[in-house]
Chains A and B, each alone.
Chain A
Amino acid sequence: MKFSKRHAGLVPASNERQASCVEPKGLRLRRVGPRHRAGVTAVLGLMLAAITPALAQQAPLADTQLSDPAQEAQAKALMETIRCVECQGQAIADSNADIAGNMRSLIRERIKAGESPEQVRAWLIQRYGDYISYDPPLGGATWPLWAAPFVLLVIGIAIARSSFRRKR
């Protein structure tokens, strides 16, 4: 048996990716739920059933804020700039993937223990490379990103100057 190269987050017994990348499980049920009462109860029951095991599996601080608001703000700001390795277009702050939750928990734990956000970012970069950070460092491969706007500006000025120059 040969599976596709993508391995993260497969739905058990299929080759489909987990819905976790899309939206919370509870939310989807709510949207398609019928309006009458029995339906609402059934949907609520389903929601609870869907949510309870998910909560039981989560790392302790995945969705629990730190008690110190300053630390929580630091942690939250960092989470918004760390890439989820499963849902690769998302930051871990937005991703519902298990590993993103576990990374959020890890970030909160480290910030709580007194580490600075940049220390935690450096630790993650050490594990996954620059790829994990949405805040790319200035380096050999990335300097054109910073230089390009200025180069384009200079080219633009040159074009403007030549077009505005009076024809003789």
Chain B
Amino acid sequence: MRRVLLWLPLVLFAGLFGLVALGLFKPADRTVRSAMVDKPLPDFVLPAMLPTKPGVARTSFGGGKPRLINVFASWCVPCIAEAPELMKLKAAGVPIDGVAINDTPEAVQKFLDRNGDPYQRIGNDKTSQVQIALGSSGVPETFLIDGRGRIVRQYVSNLQSDQVDDILKAWRGME
């Protein structure tokens, strides 16, 4: 018994060492996910960002048709990388509404001229109030809203092409 106990501290140390090493080589996923997924979209009204497009409000969702909300900003680099993916979704007929964070109409217009315009509506969320209400932690993020106005999925960071396929499949299934 004593003999075995003698080795216990070393075993404990090796275990702790292994745990720390694992944390070093496989860092934890620090992505902040929204707790609003599978919950109804909260009530909100955002004024229009551009004179050419209407703003975004809770009442635009849940009319029996699924829609996407894309939280973006003209100053966000991954949003540029995401633009072609959103254009693909637009081409496939998916309606997308934009929520522009901390932005100006001129900058948004320039951004759309350069990277394409996938949005049917763009709401001006100057102070992130709707972003926070959605449980979003940064830009870009995309939310899929079903025909009953529930948040079905959240995609953090710029959309990848496999995620676009995923959205298309889910959207076609809901329509």
A residues with a Cβ closer than 8 A to B are 1-3, 5-10, 12-15, 57-60, 85-86, 88, 98-99, 102-103, 105-106, 124-129, 131
Q: Out of A1, A10, A103, A127, name the residue touching B76 (CB < 8 Å).
A: A10
Q: Which residues of B contact A (CB under 8 A)?
A: 29-36, 75-78, 81, 102, 126-129, 131-135, 137-141, 156-158, 160
Are B132 and A127 in contact (CB-based, < 8 A)? Answer: yes
- CB pair A3 B78 closer than 8 Å: yes
Known: A10-B78, A124-B132, A129-B35. 18 other contacts (CB 8 A): A5-B31, A7-B76, A7-B78, A12-B76, A12-B77, A14-B77, A58-B127, A59-B128, A85-B138, A88-B32, A99-B131, A99-B138, A102-B127, A102-B132, A105-B127, A106-B127, A128-B35, A129-B33
Nearest first, the 7 closest Cβ-Cβ pairs linking A and B are A8-B138, A59-B127, A85-B137, A127-B135, A102-B128, A7-B157, A129-B35
B138 contact set on A, CB distance < 8 A = 7-9, 85-86, 99
Contact A127 to B133, CB < 8 A, known contacts A3-B157, A7-B156: yes
Tell me the nearest residue of chain B to A129, going by C-beta: B35
Closest to B36 in A: A127
Taken together as a complex, chains A and B put the C-alpha atoms of A99 and B33 apart, in Å, by 15
Secondary structure at the B interface, as helix, strand, loop or mixed, is loop
8 example contacts (A-B, Cβ-Cβ < 8 A) are as follows A5-B29, A7-B156, A59-B126, A59-B128, A102-B128, A106-B129, A127-B34, A129-B35
The answer to whether A99 and B77 have CB atoms under 8 Å apart is no
- Are B81 and A1 in touch, CB under 8 angstroms? yes
